[in-house]
């Protein structure tokens, strides 16, 4: 055996050297072939605002590697749920697009919709603070159209080149694979603190939009600017919007944490059960339309995916409705195997040179090849169009189509020249004839360099309650960051959005806002490779607050309580009159009552009738319901002693939900947080309603308060 004469400390040095090499410390970034990369932040384009080029081997290698990192689970949007439904057009956009399914009012276009979280693994919780995917496959008579969107209208990055970096940063840290489905850790905020372009998205992600009450109560957005093309070949820029019939609502953070423990399938279960009961989710499908000649009239760039067009500037025009009315028959075969791609378009819809969209057009097909294992993923039933497919593609793994004949090429004479090309008038897809005359460059347009104005617009459009939630979210997230320098960089960026915001977050972190924030993009980046070749633009103060950006002040907000769930906390000998009166009033408005009792099975009412118990005190929680009611009972003393009951009421009160009590329950109320907040008299505590025996007055008041979703002024009780 050969003796090792290397001193032990030398072994340690060699190991450290190898580790440094693996981490790239002191080295240039290279391709997998060892070629040094001059610019790792921008894809190669034909001009600053031109399309990305297929020859960009650096981007293709980077994204290809990223797309194939995990199988078979999706790398992003792994945790999802889906449903079938239909789209009905209002038929009012023929002037702008020749897409038949958007103009034909006589047909229902079948759809499959998949909702998802982005960061977590397939087994993670539904209630993580995260962006929600909102992807729709339209099975049109001209082929499949996929709108691959989110519940937030902007994104973290401007160029697809940075997408692998973003996801690597937000995923569990590679050395210990923690934390799961969470952005509250160093690597995510390290990346964000060095990417000012992310600040607008950060405001949305730290708002309550990232913890929705239900998939059925989320907005949907196409994110990118696309093109509509009409029959004359005229182009109009378009952004896609979906507005839920039930309004846009969220939970609070403490509630989200507790829901994750009580029911990690909360959103999935909610969608499934409501469709099963006939409560079909519905959205208004709308568009923002910008004429080609108005492309440059805004103080932002239409092609920048980190920007919105404020609805007060360009209103959303409703063009149809989307309804989900059928659950999948098999989760794996449909929800897991559905393959979306923003490049799946039909005549009348086309792309723009948005550099994030351009990268997605490559990435999605590449991902499906890895995840579904075959170029024939389009033949899986959930992905098949409803119109016939005819082309010269053959063979490949898991081929299902059995093609006959000897011809598999074009042009041909042996097959009579078929399948032949379709002229534009015959429905053939023709790309928009956009003129491109530019140098090949790897940079970004100066028009992409305003990173803070729309972040400030979003923050300033929120109510005080919503602003406080953003501040609390940032405090929570950044308090989990161990590296002080990252916290300081983030405070520097937040200070450029809003000074009060930065100062409030800084208070929670116990550090000060930097007097002179560093320009983070220069950190560790060579001068020639700086993606921000242009200096960041100063804050544009011309933006006016937009009510459409607030969930509380949104002009589409509704007082409907349809499909809301109310917990009735019932003891033995419960008042049947009280239970029946409120239950009837709730059901008349489309809401549901659930009986929560001391045990499973049944309890007896005060008139001797048996009442079925839906959940026991010990197996349920108020976080799973929208409001709470406690009717009187002969054994009210048992409720007063039960810790689960007190916690149930306390959580509902803390989470600003409507809470109702029959008269005479002062002893129970006194033992809860409500008793500490004020006397249980009518109107003494916001959203706490006492039933004085006048049934209609009580039920009207209870259901009316529920229509507000949450009693937000109650938060002030806890702030004080």
Q: Which two tokens stand for residue 51?
A: 């399309």
Buried b (16+ CB within 10 A) or exposed e, 98-120: bbbbbbbeeeebebbbbbbbbbb
Question: H-helix or E-strand containing 484?
Answer: helix 484-497
Q: Which two tokens stand for residue 259?
A: 């829901």
Question: H-helix or E-strand containing 373?
Answer: none
Strand ranges (DSSP E) for 486-536? none
Query: In this structure, are residues 109 and 86 in contact, taking their beta carbons and an 8 Å threshold?
Result: yes
Instruction: Please give the Cα distance from 629 to 594 (Å, whole number).
Output: 10
Instruction: Please give the Cα distance from 511 to 612 (Å, whole number).
Output: 55
Instruction: Please give the Cα distance from 679 to 235 (Å, whole number).
Output: 64
Instruction: Please give the Cα distance from 70 to 609 (Å, whole number).
Output: 57
Instruction: Please give the Cα distance from 254 to 673 (Å, whole number).
Output: 16
- Other Cβ atoms less than 10 A from the Cβ of 665: the count is 19
**Which of 613, 558, 529 has its CA nearest to residue 28?**
529
Q: How many residues are there in the chain?
A: 720
**Which of 266, 245, 246 has its CA nearest to residue 255?**
266
- CB-count burial class (<10 Å; 0-12, 13-18, 19+) for 569: buried
Locate tokens 């894809």: which residue?
Answer: 43
Query: In this structure, are residues 165 and 190 in contact, taking their beta carbons and an 8 Å threshold?
Result: no
Instruction: Please give the Cα distance from 194 to 202 (Å, whole number).
Output: 13
Buried b (16+ CB within 10 A) or exposed e, 12-49: eeeeeeeeeeeeeeeeeeeeeeeeeeebbbbbbbbebb
Q: Which two tokens stand for residue 591?
A: 């809401």
Q: Which two tokens stand for residue 702?
A: 């209870």
Angle between helices 266-276 and 253-262 (to 10 degrees): 80
- CB-count burial class (<10 Å; 0-12, 13-18, 19+) for 524: exposed
Alpha helices of 238-297 — where are they, by DSSP H? 253-262, 266-276
Query: In this structure, are residues 383 and 339 in contact, taking their beta carbons and an 8 Å threshold?
Result: yes
CA 711 to chain centroid, in Å, comes to: 25
The dihedrals phi and psi of 273, each to the nearest 5 degrees, come to -70, -40
Give whole-number Cα distances, 633 to 600, 606, 698, in Å.
17, 7, 18
Instruction: Please give the Cα distance from 95 to 112 (Å, whole number).
Output: 27
Give the catalytic positions in this structure: 77, 150
Instruction: Please give the Cα distance from 620 to 625 (Å, whole number).
Output: 10
**Which of 315, 287, 325, 276 has its CA nearest to residue 87?**
325
DSSP state, residue 283: E
**Which of 421, 437, 455, 631 has its CA nearest to residue 537?**
455
DSSP state, residue 317: E
CA 122 to chain centroid, in Å, comes to: 16
Instruction: Please give the Cα distance from 238 to 291 (Å, whole number).
Output: 9
Query: In this structure, are residues 514 and 488 in contact, taking their beta carbons and an 8 Å threshold?
Result: yes
Give whole-number Cα distances, 368 to 56, 67, 150, 372, in Å.
21, 9, 19, 5
């Amino acid at each position: 055996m050969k003796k090792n004469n290397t001193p032990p400390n030398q072994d340690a040095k060699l190991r450290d050297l190898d580790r440094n090499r693996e981490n790239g410390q002191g080295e240039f970034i290279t391709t997998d072939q060892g070629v040094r990369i001059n610019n790792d932040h921008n894809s190669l384009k034909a001009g600053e605002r031109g399309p990305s080029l297929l020859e960009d081997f650096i981007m293709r290698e980077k994204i290809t590697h990223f797309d194939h990192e995990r199988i078979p689970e999706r790398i992003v949007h792994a945790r999802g749920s889906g449903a079938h439904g239909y789209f009905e057009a209002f038929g009012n956009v023929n002037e702008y697009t020749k897409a038949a399914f958007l103009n034909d009012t006589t047909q229902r276009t079948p759809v499959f919709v998949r909702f998802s979280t982005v960061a977590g693994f397939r087994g993670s919780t539904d209630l993580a603070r995260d962006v929600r995917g909102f992807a729709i496959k339209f099975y049109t008579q001209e082929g499949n159209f996929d709108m691959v969107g989110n519940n937030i209208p902007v994104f973290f990055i401007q160029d697809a080149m940075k997408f692998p970096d973003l996801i690597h940063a937000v995923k569990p840290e590679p050395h210990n694979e923690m934390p799961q489905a969470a952005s509250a850790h160093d690597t995510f905020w390290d990346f964000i603190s060095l990417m000012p372009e992310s600040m607008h998205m950060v405001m949305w992600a730290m708002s309550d939009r990232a913890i929705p009450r239900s998939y059925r109560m989320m907005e949907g957005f196409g994110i990118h600017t696309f093109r509509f093309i009409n029959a004359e070949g005229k182009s109009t820029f378009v952004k896609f919007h979906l507005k839920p019939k039930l309004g846009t609502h969220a939970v609070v953070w403490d509630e989200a944490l507790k829901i994750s423990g009580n029911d990690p399938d909360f959103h999935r279960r909610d969608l499934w059960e409501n469709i099963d009961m006939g409560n079909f989710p519905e959205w208004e499908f709308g568009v923002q339309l910008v004429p080609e000649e108005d492309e440059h009239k805004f103080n932002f760039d239409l092609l920048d995916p980190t920007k919105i067009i404020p609805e007060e500037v360009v209103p959303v025009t409703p063009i149809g409705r989307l309804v989900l009315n059928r659950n999948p028959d098999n989760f794996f075969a449909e929800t897991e195997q559905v393959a979306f791609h923003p490049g799946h378009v039909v005549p009348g819809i086309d792309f723009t040179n948005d550099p994030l969209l351009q990268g997605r057009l490559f990435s999605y097909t590449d991902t499906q090849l890895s995840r579904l294992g075959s170029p024939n993923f389009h033949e899986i039933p959930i992905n098949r169009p409803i119109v016939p497919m005819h082309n010269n593609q053959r063979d490949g793994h898991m081929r299902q189509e059995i093609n006959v004949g000897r011809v598999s090429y074009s042009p041909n004479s042996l097959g009579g020249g078929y399948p032949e090309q379709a002229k534009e008038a015959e429905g053939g897809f023709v790309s928009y004839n956009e003129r491109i005359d530019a140098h090949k460059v790897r940079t970004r347009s100066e028009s992409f360099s305003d990173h803070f104005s729309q972040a400030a617009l979003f923050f300033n459009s929120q109510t005080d309650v919503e602003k406080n939630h953003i501040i609390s979210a940032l405090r929570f997230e950044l308090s989990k960051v161990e590296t002080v320098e990252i916290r300081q960089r983030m405070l520097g960026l937040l200070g450029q959005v809003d000074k009060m915001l930065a100062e409030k977050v800084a208070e929670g972190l116990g550090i000060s806002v930097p007097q002179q924030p560093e320009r983070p993009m220069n950190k560790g980046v060579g001068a020639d490779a700086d993606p921000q070749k242009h200096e960041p633009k100063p804050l544009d103060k011309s933006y006016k607050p937009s009510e459409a950006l607030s969930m509380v002040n949104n002009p589409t907000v509704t007082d409907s309580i349809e499909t809301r769930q109310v917990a009735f906390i019932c003891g033995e000998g419960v008042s049947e009159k009280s239970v029946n009166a409120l239950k009837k009033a709730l059901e008349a408005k489309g809401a549901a009552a659930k009986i929560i009792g001391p045990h499973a099975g049944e309890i007896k009412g005060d008139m001797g009738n048996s009442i079925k118990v839906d959940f026991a005190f010990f197996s349920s929680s108020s976080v799973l319901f929208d409001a709470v009611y406690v009717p009187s009972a002969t054994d009210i003393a048992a409720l007063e002693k039960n810790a689960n009951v007190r916690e149930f009421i306390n959580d509902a009160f803390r989470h600003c939900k409507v809470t109702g009590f029959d008269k005479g329950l002062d002893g129970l109320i006194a033992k809860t947080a409500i008793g500490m907040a004020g006397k249980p008299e009518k109107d003494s505590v916001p959203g706490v309603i006492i039933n004085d025996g006048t049934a209609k007055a009580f039920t009207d008041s209870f259901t009316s308060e529920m229509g507000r979703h949450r009693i937000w002024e109650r938060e002030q009780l806890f702030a004080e």
